[in-house]
Amino acid sequence: MSQTKDIRDAVERELGYDPLVDDSDISVKNINGDVALNGTVPSYPQYLEAAAAARRVAGVKKLQNHLEVVLPAEDYRDDATLTTVANNALTLNIAVPDGVEATAKNGNLTLAGTVSHGTGRTAAERAVTYLTGVRNVRDDIDISAGADPVDVTLGVQDALDRYALIPDDSDVAVDTSGNTVTLTGHVRTWAEHDAVIDAVWMATGVYDVTDDLYVTG
């Protein structure tokens, strides 16, 4: 049996195993570890969870999530209602900085505003992800925190050195241009990949992250 079929079958089994995903209309394609998910799911959380399930499978090096969220009729919310509900969720969440706002169009939420750290952006995304009626979330939040690029590089590298999920012999390299961090090198799994990304976004002064990491699978 070819590795292509092995990986595809393993992803399909993982999607079927995950109770948070309705895999009835999901198809999986794999070319040498580059996996694509196609089809539909009934909610945005399932869109995210399907990708997370696929990334858990050994051998998945890249993932393209082409799933479309098709909401059941009872979950539909008009733009005005969803905008109001989303902004209420942002306001009530103490982890979301003041000034972040949401607007909705056909179930697609756009977040805007300015925060001082990447963790503020993450908190805003999480605050609206599980709202009924959301089909997608676009994060246009800006980050503004005064930090010298040299300090950013040192801060990111220190964070990576401390992180328990990143091995001591990791070849992940950090390059900073202004306040944009570019990551290169190899990670063994998607869990390790996500640990690196999370560690970088926690550093003060990081405005953007270019992910050129290679998942060896």
SS3 per residue for 145-207: CCCCHHHHHHHHHHHHHHCCCCCCCCCCEEEEECCEEEEEEEECCHHHHHHHHHHHHCCCCCC
CB 44 within 8 A of CB 135: yes
**CATH code at position 119:** 3.30.70.2210
φ and ψ at residue 61, rounded to 5 degrees = -100, -35
Q: Is the pLDDT of residue 3 over 80?
A: no
Last residue of a domain, one of 99, 121, 143: 143
Whole-angstrom Cα distance, residue 72 to residue 3? 37
- 183 and 139 both lie in a single domain: no
Structure confidence at residue 149 (pLDDT):
65
By percentage, how much of the chain surpasses pLDDT 70? 95
**Residue 4: its pLDDT value, please?**
60
CATH of residue 204's domain is 3.30.1340.30
pLDDT at 1: 39
pLDDT at 97 over 60: yes
How would residue 198 be classed by pLDDT, with cut points 50, 70 and 90?
Answer: confident
Rounded to whole angstroms, the Cα distance separating 59 from 206 reads 31
- Provide the whole-model pTM: 0.82
In the structure, what pLDDT confidence band is assigned to residue 118 with cuts at 50, 70 and 90? confident
139 plus 79 within the same structural domain: yes
Q: Mean per-residue pLDDT for 74-92?
A: 98
Average pLDDT across the chain, whole number: 90
Q: Mean pLDDT lowest for which of 83-87, 89-93, 101-105, 143-147? A: 143-147
Mean local confidence (pLDDT), 92-118: 95
pLDDT above 60 for 85: yes
Position with higher pLDDT, 165 vs 198: 198
Mean pLDDT for 20-46 is 97
Q: pLDDT by residue (tens digit) across 145-161?
A: 666 667 777 888 888 88
Residues 154 and 135 reside in one and the same domain: no
If asked whether residues 205 and 163 sit together in one domain, one would say yes
Instruction: Give the pLDDT confidence score for residue 2 in this predicted structure.
Output: 52
The range of the structural domain enclosing residue 32 comes to 3-69
Nearest 5°: the CA angle 144, 112, 127 is: 100
Domain final position from 69, 95, 127: 69
Question: Which residues fall within 8 angstroms of residue 74, CB to CB, at 6 or more apart?
Answer: none
Say which residue, 71 or 148, is predicted with more confidence.
Answer: 71
Specify the number of domains making up the chain. Answer: 3
**pLDDT score of 157:** 80
Crossing angle of helices 44-55 and 3-17, in 10° steps, is 140
Rounded Cα distance, 43 and 70, in Å: 7
In the predicted structure, residue 201 carries a pLDDT above the cut 50:
yes
pLDDT grade for 124, boundaries at 50, 70 and 90:
very high
Q: Are residues 52 and 89 in the same domain?
A: no
Report the pLDDT averaged over residues 26-47: 97
The full DSSP string for 20-84 is T---TTEEEEEETTEEEEEEEESSHHHHHHHHHHHHTSTT--EEEE--EE---GGG---HHHHHH
The answer on 164 and 132 residing in a single domain is no
